[in-house]
Amino acid sequence: HRPAHGARRRALTATVPLALTALLASASPAGATTTGGAGAGDPYFPLAGNGGYHVAHYDLDLRYDTATRHLDGTAVLTARATRRLTRFDLDLSGLKITGLTVDHAPAAHRRDGQELVVTPRRALRKGQTFRVTVTYRGTPKPVTDPDGSTDGWIATDDGAFVAGEPQGAMTWFPANNHPTDKSSYDITVTVPQGRTAVANGVLVGRRTHQGRTTFHWRQSEPMAAYLATATVGTFQVRQYTTRDGIRVYDAVDPREATAAAPVLKKLPSVLEWESRLFGPYPFRSAGSIVDHAPDVGYALETQGRPVYDSAPDVDTLVHENAHQWFGDSVSLTSWKDIWLNEGFATYAEWLYEEQHGGDSAQKTFDALYARPAGDPLWAYPPGDPGDGANLFGTPVYARGAMVLHALRTAVGDRAFYRVLRAWASEHRYGHGTTADFERLAERVSGKDLDAVFTTWLHTRGKPSRP
Ligand code: ARG
Ligand code: ZN
């Protein structure tokens, strides 16, 4: 499933500011200027992503000096124009560009905030595959999000915690930085010998030369830019293959090792349990990156291998790995649909507790429902957080999970689990919207669910009945 870009773009011109609307591309005759556009049309992050092309593959070659915090990078993007382009944008925040070519020819470029505006020597034809090579360097700075948290390349005392939700991918590589665009990745990172660089997918090469070690990672399944990582630290590494043939790579900061060990041991059983509920695990690799990054304050479901700022508990392990189905394999088309990620991953925790000697999901639901009308839980409906500052709030996580529990109560367990599996399989490696999910739930269950979704997902305030 791919979003209908034309339709989305038309719909969005109503919601984005006028200045931005002027930047969005319009059809024009050959020979005229046709720009890609500065954003993918997301109302919360209007400059995130870009118009006019898709990236098929990123080949990132990085070198990080953990002592000076200096990053040197070469990014080779293989992309395809979705319309004629005399100019297009990439997203890049900070860093200095030392070279930029399109199909090996030097291309004019300028910086404008997070926009890197590229004018290739010759216009790109609609449908043309082209290659952009950017060399860059500098000290990466994380971005500050509307909720005050930071993400991107976050330096630690022994390396860097690298997690890009929702905006931070552009702090370490030039990207089409919106989940509507998914790509395969080769990520090669050179670090001082003794440090380990952990990215997504499978480790395909590793060599040490003159005091530096190079790690080459390959993510073959489609991945949104925000789910890429290249976390660097002093890590204890463990590698094994599960009974289902999934390649596991665990990297653990020694300061977190004692607390992490009993939790990481459960990963194979958690993935087996989630596979029974949600369908086959979507990726060929798995694992955990357990960093010691006390200033970060969150974990991220980096694809195939979540990154944790400290040793996770079992619920967090369940949560981040549930995202591999819901969020990573099935991606958002718009950040306002974030409950499709967080509500689902939170409900996975409830189900895990229910089936492993903890509280029933009903009991968890009831305890939340008991909260008074003025509680932050009811501050906004999960289907419309209203603002990028609310993406990771309690109404998205907890009330988002309540939506799924209300659905389960309405359709019964058999139909409910069929809905979850159908969502994961029909949108595998693709995208989905809230409206897509509502339609799918009605189709699979054969029930009219309008009242359930209106009440739990879309209506402001505490619902009058549980
Ligand atoms: N998706 C992550 C989780 O719930 C949270 C990411 C929070 N990001 C941030 N910039 N605050 O597992
Ligand atoms: Zn989450």
Per-residue confidence (pLDDT) for residue 286, from 0 to 100: 98
Ligand nearest to the CA of 148: 1
pLDDT digits (tens, 9 = 90+) for 49-87: 999 999 999 999 999 999 999 999 999 999 999 999 999
* Mutate-to-test residue for ligand 1 from 149, 298, 326, 332, highest number of ligand atoms within 8 A of CB: 298
Q: Tell me which residue has its CA closest to atom 6 in ligand 1.
A: 300
Ligand nearest to the CA of 300: 1
Residue 9 predicted with pLDDT over 60 = no
Q: How confident is the model at residue 34 (pLDDT cuts 50, 70, 90)?
A: confident
Q: Which is the closest atom of ligand 1 to the Cα of 166?
A: 10
Q: How far is the CA of 109 from the centre of ligand 1 (A)?
A: 33
Residues 6 or more apart whose Cβ sits within 8 Å of residue 156: 233, 291, 292, 293
Ligand nearest to the CA of 347: 2
For the CA atoms of the chain, what is the radius of gyration? 22
Task: Please indicate whether residue 24 or residue 268 has the higher confidence score (pLDDT).
Answer: 268
Q: How confident is the model at residue 35 (pLDDT cuts 50, 70, 90)?
A: confident
pLDDT digits (tens, 9 = 90+) for 321-380: 999 999 999 999 999 999 999 999 999 999 999 999 999 999 999 999 999 999 999 999
Per-residue tokens: 333: 């088309």
Task: Tell me how far apart the alpha carbons of residues 382 and 368 are, in angstroms, rounded to a whole number.
Answer: 14
Q: Tell me which residue has its CA closest to atom 2 in ligand 1.
A: 300
Q: Tell me which residue has its CA closest to atom 11 in ligand 1.
A: 149
Residue 267 predicted with pLDDT over 80 = yes
Q: Tell me which residue has its CA closest to atom 12 in ligand 1.
A: 300
Q: Which is the closest atom of ligand 1 to the Cα of 319?
A: 12
Amino acid (one-letter) located at 186: D
pLDDT digits (tens, 9 = 90+) for 282-318: 999 999 999 999 999 999 999 999 999 999 999 999 9
pLDDT digits (tens, 9 = 90+) for 407-462: 999 999 999 999 999 999 999 999 999 999 999 999 999 999 999 999 999 999 99
Per-residue confidence (pLDDT) for residue 16, from 0 to 100: 43
First to last CA, the chain: 34
Nearest to 61 by CA among 215, 175, 200, 170: 215
SS3 at position 138: strand
Ligand nearest to the CA of 163: 1
Q: Please state the rounded mean pLDDT for residues 208-222.
A: 98
Q: How far is the CA of 86 from the centre of ligand 2 (A)?
A: 39
Per-residue confidence (pLDDT) for residue 29, from 0 to 100: 53
Per-residue confidence (pLDDT) for residue 131, from 0 to 100: 98
Q: Which is the closest atom of ligand 1 to the Cα of 168?
A: 10
Task: Please indicate whether residue 369 or residue 16 has the higher confidence score (pLDDT).
Answer: 369
Residue 8 predicted with pLDDT over 50 = no
**Mean pLDDT for the chain?**
94
Q: How confident is the model at residue 28 (pLDDT cuts 50, 70, 90)?
A: very low
Q: Which is the closest atom of ligand 1 to the Cα of 342?
A: 4
pLDDT digits (tens, 9 = 90+) for 227-250: 999 999 999 999 999 999 999 999
**Which residues surround ligand 1 with Cβ inside 6 Å?**
145, 149, 151, 165, 298-301, 319-320, 342, 392
Per-residue confidence (pLDDT) for residue 204, from 0 to 100: 98
Q: How far is the CA of 310 from the centre of ligand 1 (A)?
A: 14
* Mutate-to-test residue for ligand 1 from 392, 394, 396, 397, highest number of ligand atoms within 8 A of CB: 392
Count CA atoms within 13 Å of residue 62 on its CB side: 33
Ligand nearest to the CA of 322: 2
Residue 12 predicted with pLDDT over 80 = no
Q: Which is the closest atom of ligand 1 to the Cα of 306?
A: 12
DSSP assignments along 324-345, one per residue: TTBTTTBEESSGGGTHHHHHHH
Residue 37 predicted with pLDDT over 90 = no
Q: Which is the closest atom of ligand 1 to the Cα of 167?
A: 10
Q: How far is the CA of 394 from the centre of ligand 2 (A)?
A: 11
Q: How far is the CA of 65 from the centre of ligand 2 (A)?
A: 31
Complex-level ipTM: 0.98
Per-residue confidence (pLDDT) for residue 14, from 0 to 100: 39
Q: How far is the CA of 300 from the centre of ligand 2 (A)?
A: 7
What angle, rounded to 10 degrees, do the helices at 434-445 and 400-411 form?
20
Q: How far is the CA of 344 from the centre of ligand 2 (A)?
A: 8
Predicted TM-score (pTM) of this structure: 0.93
